[in-house]
């Protein structure tokens, strides 16, 4: 079985692909509202919903057992960045609403938050992969890794079928075909 931290690193590959799509959407000044809404769904259900749930509900608390406090130090920084990500999503939603009422400024708010989220998460994932998860790997026993991986598998199995891990990856790849490989 893959370790718990490797499971999260595997999710990051797909989340990073989504952030590349988001940057391209903003750079090309896409006006495809349905695509922006799909990005929001993918963040809410996969990047934030499933992936951040694994980190916030399972990984970080277990790191807490080894002295990594949720209110200060590296775990606090990670939690704070998850909150900032949610603010960018709220900004995208507000931008879409504004654009729908006929205000073109809404589009630029969408682009700003697409970029803001993408760069935040790219930086965040680099810190997790290169620093935080290495701390966890040092601290955790084999048993910790196995128990966590098992709990991750249970979350993934019970997740909303419309946005389970496989379908989210498929949707990211479909967007990638339009924005990254065109």
State the residues that interact with Fe ion by CB under 5 A.
55, 78, 128
Compare residues 65 and 131 and give the one whose CB is closer to Fe ion: 131
Alpha helices in 70-104 (DSSP H): 74-100
Nearest approach, Cβ of residue 131 and Fe ion (Å): 12
For Fe ion, the closer of residues 128 and 144 by Cβ is 128
Q: Nearest approach, Cβ of 99 to Fe ion (angstroms)? A: 29
Q: Which residue's CB is nearer to Fe ion, number 96 or number 118?
A: 118
Q: How far is the CB of 33 from Fe ion (least distance, A)?
A: 28
φ, ψ (nearest 5 deg) of residue 130: -95, -20
Q: What angle do CA 44, 151, 90 make, to 5 degrees?
A: 15
- What is the closest distance, in whole angstroms, from the C-beta atom of residue 133 to Fe ion in the complex? 9
* Cβ-proximal residues to 69 (8 Å cutoff; 6+ apart), any chain: 75, 76
Distance in angstroms (rounded) separating the CA atoms of residues 146 and 143: 5
Nearest residue (CB) to Fe ion, 28 versus 73? 73
């Amino acid at each position: 079985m893959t370790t718990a931290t490797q499971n999260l690193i595997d999710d990051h590959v797909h989340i990073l692909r989504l952030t590349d799509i988001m940057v391209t959407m903003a750079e090309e000044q896409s006006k495809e509202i349905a695509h922006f809404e799909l990005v929001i769904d993918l963040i809410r259900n996969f990047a934030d919903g499933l992936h951040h749930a694994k980190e916030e509900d399972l990984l970080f608390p277990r790191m807490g057992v080894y002295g990594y406090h949720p209110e200060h130090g590296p775990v606090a920084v990670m939690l704070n960045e998850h909150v900032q990500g949610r603010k960018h999503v709220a900004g995208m939603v507000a931008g879409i609403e504004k654009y729908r009422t006929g205000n073109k400024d809404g589009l630029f708010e969408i682009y700003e938050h697409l970029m803001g989220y993408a760069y935040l998460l790219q930086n965040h994932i680099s810190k997790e992969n290169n620093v935080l998860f290495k701390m966890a790997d040092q601290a955790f026993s084999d048993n910790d890794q196995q128990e966590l991986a098992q709990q991750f598998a249970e979350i993934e199995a019970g997740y909303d079928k419309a946005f389970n891990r496989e379908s989210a990856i498929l949707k990211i790849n479909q967007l990638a075909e339009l924005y990254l490989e065109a």
